[in-house]
Amino acid sequence: MISIFRAFNPLNVLWLAIVLFLSRVGYLFHVPATLKFIFVEPFARLLVPVAYEYAFSPVLNILLAAVLVFIQALLLNYLINFYNLLGKPTFLPALMYVTLSGLFAPFLILSAPLICNFLVIWMLFKLFSLYKGDDAKSTVYDLGMIVALGSLIYFPFIYLFLVIWIALVLFKPFNWREWIAGVLGYVTVFFFLAVFYYLNDHLPVFYKIWRPLGTKFPDHISINSYNYVLLIPIVAILVLCFFKLQQNFFKSYVQIRKSFQLLFFIFLIAAFSFYVNASFHLNHFLLCIAPAAVFFAYFFLYATRKWFYESLFLLLLISVICFQFNNF
């Protein structure tokens, strides 16, 4: 399977669709009677004055989520090949994205984090363009607006604002106007939200939007113990990936090295921003899928022992499929 996706072949789109189907078909046997889809945060609910939470049947919900994942995988693959982050054109980022997005049952349904992954990929396009851009102020302003938009959909997305400043540190010499431009972009969106609150007589409660930022970081997370089993191959591949990156780190171009550093920070920030939500939901970690898929793709592209990397991916794929066919 890995050998097929290592090559940049348009026919791999068909294989990608097959992997997408295999990693989701099992969940259809245990699909709940109803699935709730929350598109925006409660404080932005006024912007969507229609009842949409149960607009889709469970099966349609899963199918639409699969279509979104498929589109996101192709967009991410185009992004990585466009900036040549892996050194050669390949379909591995798309394969890894589809595989990782099928890890857990909450990943398989429509959710705010899944929608926000479009914004993550959009941000990556703009962030990587900072390296060679002459005037970054307009790009950073756009990035601030994207983060604000993501915050309306899924509030923990607000922490990805830190990624903008990290990218400026990595890619650009210090310019205070560029740092302020991101803040202005973010404030622009929430200014119009404040106007909307005012017109609807809700302005006195506008400040409550940022209350979750004061939430104490939890001491522990309650996760089904069976999910830890599925994380074993994930952690193993990540560790191998970082070893491979370390071996080739100084052999890469400066832009490539800094881009992987940025992806690592995105992964960490997205992972640790879960605590902002009042209740923990596993689908939050969908925000980590895009950078993780790039790391996975890097390892599988440059791994040398075919029997090892093919067996490792097969183990991961089989684990995902088995968990979809079992309702633990």
Domain count, the chain: 1
Query: Which residue did the predictor score with more confidence, 278 or 7?
Result: 7
Phi-psi region of 145 (alpha: psi -120 to 50; beta: other; left: phi over 0): alpha
Residue 85 has pLDDT above 60, yes or no: yes
The span from the CA of 23 to the CA of 36, in Å, is 21
Q: 155 lies in a domain?
A: yes
- Yes or no: say if 197 and 203 are a contact pair by the CB < 8 Å rule: yes
Query: Any idea what DSSP says for residue 282?
Result: G
The span from the CA of 217 to the CA of 277, in Å, is 11
Q: 217 lies in a domain?
A: no
Q: 14 lies in a domain?
A: yes
Average pLDDT, the chain: 86
- Yes or no: say if 148 and 47 are a contact pair by the CB < 8 Å rule: no
pLDDT at 20: 92
pLDDT at 240: 86
Q: 103 lies in a domain?
A: yes
pLDDT at 218: 66
The span from the CA of 262 to the CA of 84, in Å, is 15
What is the residue range of 272's domain? 2-212+224-325
Q: 30 lies in a domain?
A: yes
The span from the CA of 307 to the CA of 39, in Å, is 43
Q: 219 lies in a domain?
A: no
Phi-psi region of 201 (alpha: psi -120 to 50; beta: other; left: phi over 0): left
- Reported as half-sphere exposure (CB side, CA atoms, 13 A), residue 187 has a value of 5
Q: 202 lies in a domain?
A: yes
Nearest alpha carbon to residue 148 among 111, 189, 113: 189
Please tell me whether the overall predicted TM-score, pTM, comes out greater than 0.85 for this model: yes
Q: 9 lies in a domain?
A: yes
